[in-house]
Amino acid sequence: MMIAKMTRKMALNSRLLTGALAALPLALAAPAAHAAWTLNLTPGIDSVSREIYGLHMLMFWWCVGIAVVVFGFMIYSIARFRQSTGAVADTSLTHNTRVEVIWTVVPVLILISMAVPAARVLVNTTDAAGSQLAIRITGYQWRWQYEYVGTGVQFISSLDRASDRARQLDSGISPYSVPHYLLNVDHPLVVPAGVKVRVLVTGADVIHSWWVPALGIKKDAIPGFVNEAWFDVDPDKIGTYRGQCAELCGRDHGFMPIVIKVVSKQDFQKWLKAQEDALKPPAATAPAAAPAAASAAPAARSGAKASA
């Protein structure tokens, strides 16, 4: 399970985070045991998300460092120069050009050291050259449509039935009884591992945002625009990963999750073939449909409906 994997990797970071920020006593008891007290970003499953994670941690440690110095100085001053302990104010201390210059220049240098890696990662995220597969993603109120460009395979991906029933007002169904409550869909997006995939994101009605933390991708789906992003999942990261719409898009904004199923290159070819076969006239598809994933046939059908 992804969450469990994520948690193990994060155990170290979690503890560091908690210690450094001295957040809440509750957090101290938290880290590894229980997935729910998650504290940090996921390093993700492809090069982009790992670079972003690295940048995030670099920034985090800079912030901790700056906080230690600045808060240290404040706390020292507050503890040391109290009227109640007889401190007398040094009223001559009103300005000092040298320290003003120092605390202007030092931050500039720190910022440069941050900007360089950030710019590098940013440039990399925009470089979709050499992709072998393109997927067009369209946001609807309130579901996603996926289309494998050039294959005719397309389908709609909506919140799964169980979550949808449980999330109704006063449904009486415990969210804990639903597997992956609100993070499960009827037809997940299937993608191959070890292949550079380009996604083309757009919106049909209002603005949505396609966000999968594990891929390090968040792209707004805007009517009239096509945004581009790419990912290249590590070959060993076969599994299921989840995300959500990240731009307020109306009443059911919270109920249009994203699920991607990462499969091996071979499995992906088989799956895509089955999908394509399912699109052919019924007589021809009958034998081919059998090995396909359970979701294949309904996916193709709902896709045909939505392509209108």
Residues 87-106 binding another protein (CB under 8 A) are: 87-91, 93-96, 99-100, 103-104
* 3-class secondary structure, 188: coil
Sign for the pseudo-dihedral over CA of 137, 190, 241, 197 = negative
Q: For residues 175-194, b (16+ Cβ closer than 10 Å) or e, as one string?
A: eeebebbbbbbbbbbbbbbb
307 DSSP assignment? T
133-140/208-212 β-pairing: unpaired
Residue 207, amino acid: I
Identity of the amino acid at 172: G
Contact letters for another protein, residues 201-220 (x by CB under 8 A):
----xxx-x-x-x--xxxxx
CB of 213 to another protein, least distance (A): 5
Residues near another protein (CB under 8 A), total: 104
User: Counting contacts by CB under 8 A, is residue 70 touching another protein?
Assistant: yes
Which of 1, 77, 113, 236 forms a contact with another protein (CB under 8 A)?
77
Q: Which two tokens stand for residue 143?
A: 């579901």
81 is a site residue for another protein (CB under 8 A): yes
Mark residues 125-154: x for contact with another protein by CB under 8 A, - for none: xx----------------------------
Regarding 61 and contact with another protein (CB under 8 A), the answer is no
Binding segment for another protein (CB under 8 A), chosen from 51-59, 148-156, 287-295, 297-305, is 51-59
Site for another protein in 157-196 (CB under 8 A): 166-171, 173-176, 180-183
Q: Which residue's CB is nearer to another protein, number 175 or number 291?
A: 175
In the complex, minimum distance from the CB of residue 80 to another protein, in angstroms, rounded to a whole number: 9
DSSP annotation of 183: S
Nearer Cβ to another protein (63/286): 63
CB 44 within 8 A of CB 53: yes
**Neighbour order of strands in the sheet with 153-157:** 153-157, 143-148, 133-140, 196-203, 227-232
Peptide bond between residue 142 and the one before it cis (omega within 30 degrees of 0)? yes
To another protein, the closest distance from the beta carbon of 2 in angstroms equals 11
Q: How far is the CB of 306 from another protein (least distance, A)?
A: 18
> At its nearest, how many Å lie between another protein and the CB of residue 264?
26
